Amino acid sequence: MAKPSAPRPKQQPDRKKQAPLAAAPLKKQGAQSSAPTRKPAAARAAGAPAASAAPASRAVAPAAGARISRRAADRIRGGHLWVYASDVETLALPEGDQDAPSLLPVADNRGLLLGTALFSPTSQIALRMVSRHAIDQAEWLSLLEERLRAAIRRRKPLLSDVVSGATDACRLVFSEADQLPGVIVDKYGPLAIVQLLTKGLDTPAVRAVVVRALREEMTAKATPAAQAIRAILERPDARMRELEGLSQPGVEPLWAERGAAKLASTEFHLNGLTFHYDANSGQKTGAFLDQRLNYAAAAAWAKKLGATGRALDVCTYQGGFALHLAQVAEQVTGIDASHASLEVAEHNLETNRAALKAEVDWVQGDAFQILRDWSEAGESFDAIVLDPPAFAKTKRAVEGALRGYKELNLRALKMLRPGGLLVTCSCSHHVGWSDLEGAVAAAAADANRRVRILERRGPALDHPVVLNLPETEYLKCLVLEVE
């Protein structure tokens, strides 16, 4: 299953868990702060320097704030947004604050200002840059709203076929890829699901800005009725709540129009198929939107290659690849370890039955064991999709992950008929293209199969890849013809 959709704020690889950052208190800075003269936040959204200020790389940082290592400063100047706790050399917080501030100025080890960051005192990712300038809370909220609106407007063209009912779900806001570290907003039909994944975002003021931007950009007054949202829910991430020390969101919607206050489950559409969504269950924000175009590509390639007999979807989750393949194949099997996920997959199957030509069945169990048993028993398929969860959440895990990818692909290759289709995915950003291709090539050699690359694919366009942020290129999808 394709899975951190995000770049979800991963903890730094190869580092032990950090204790909360300690800081020597300083007096609050008064009106004579050493911060440079600033333009309004809107003028700085694109990174434009203030007219009367020195460039950010030469400006002197305020006394309160964080100074970071040269290594970290070089990453920030190169366009990255994260500073790990181990790279914070000194930390000075304003005196008298009972709670850690949500924003901190960040400087290099010489005291030259790098910008302003969201501060997470208990996280291994201590700082997430939001501006190349020194900004205060009011300016940050203005910048937050501006970037939210820009992100949403970039996605609206992706929903242009929503009137036909083909697709009415997408990721509206994608964290660092939209210069909004820790902010995730997914749209499932009439529901908008919000995740705030960093301590600096865990405030009523931030929630109010998110709700206002969504209401003004995505309700019926601002967008075609078929695209509009009717309710906004915040869905917590239990792991990130623990790591970041976040509050528990309330059970009530952040906003709902009249009659939609209890709207926590609904239907949404991807590529003309209907899927069920429940805000109180599922992984990530509830479903996997990043694979939307790859679902359609798998079905299209199976049809082109004539691989339309028997198809297998490994780690099917709620049936995304399986149901798309069922539009062109004669028989489809989906495998997943989760009984709850397969129940939703069955519900999705029944909803789409009239649009599908295949017989579809679900098998619950461990994918490695099932593929091993089936390959040794001589089972064969015309098309196989491998979409496992992230095997490598740290750099240390890459070696083991590659063994896992090789094993899955080896078993799949042994079961594919000549001329068959293999779609194999990785959602670990630590596993690069060369790593994934190397694992598949090694599997092909062991299986004595010749494999041809038809396509290299990534996430759908609502999950943009930013060159300066390698974590945004987490999803890799190889489409292969097997001789």
CA-closest candidate to residue 62, choices 105, 92, 94, 93: 105
Decide: helix, strand or coil at residue 10.
Answer: coil
Q: What does DSSP assign to residue 35?
A: S
User: Quick check: is 427 catalytic?
Assistant: yes
The answer to whether 68 touches 106, Cβ cutoff 8 Å, is yes
Q: Which helix (DSSP H) or strand (DSSP E) does residue 379 occupy?
A: none
Dig out the tokens for 79 from the structure. 């366009």
**Chain centroid to CA 391:** 16
- CB contact set of 448 (below 8 Å; sequence gap of 6+): none
**Which stretches does DSSP call E strand in 52-161?**
65-68, 82-84, 88-94, 103-107, 113-119, 125-131
**Which stretches does DSSP call E strand in 235-380?**
255-256, 265-270, 273-278, 310-314, 331-336, 359-364
As a whole number of angstroms, the distance between CA 19 and CA 122 comes to 7
Q: Which amino acid is at 447?
A: A
Dig out the tokens for 324 from the structure. 């798309």
As a whole number of angstroms, the distance between CA 369 and CA 288 comes to 25
Dig out the tokens for 210 from the structure. 């998110």
The answer to whether 398 touches 435, Cβ cutoff 8 Å, is yes
As a whole number of angstroms, the distance between CA 461 and CA 288 comes to 13
Dig out the tokens for 357 from the structure. 């030509």
Q: Are strands 82-84 and 265-270 parallel, antiparallel or unpaired?
A: unpaired
Catalytic residue among 315, 425, 427, 477: 427
The answer to whether 188 touches 169, Cβ cutoff 8 Å, is yes
CA distances from residue 420 to 83, 381, 482 in whole angstroms, order as listed: 45, 8, 5
Dig out the tokens for 102 from the structure. 């949500």
DSSP sequence for 219-236:
STTTS-GGG---EEEE--
Dig out the tokens for 194 from the structure. 């919000």
The answer to whether 95 touches 116, Cβ cutoff 8 Å, is no
**Chain centroid to CA 236:** 14
Dig out the tokens for 304 from the structure. 């082109």
Catalytic (active-site) positions: 427
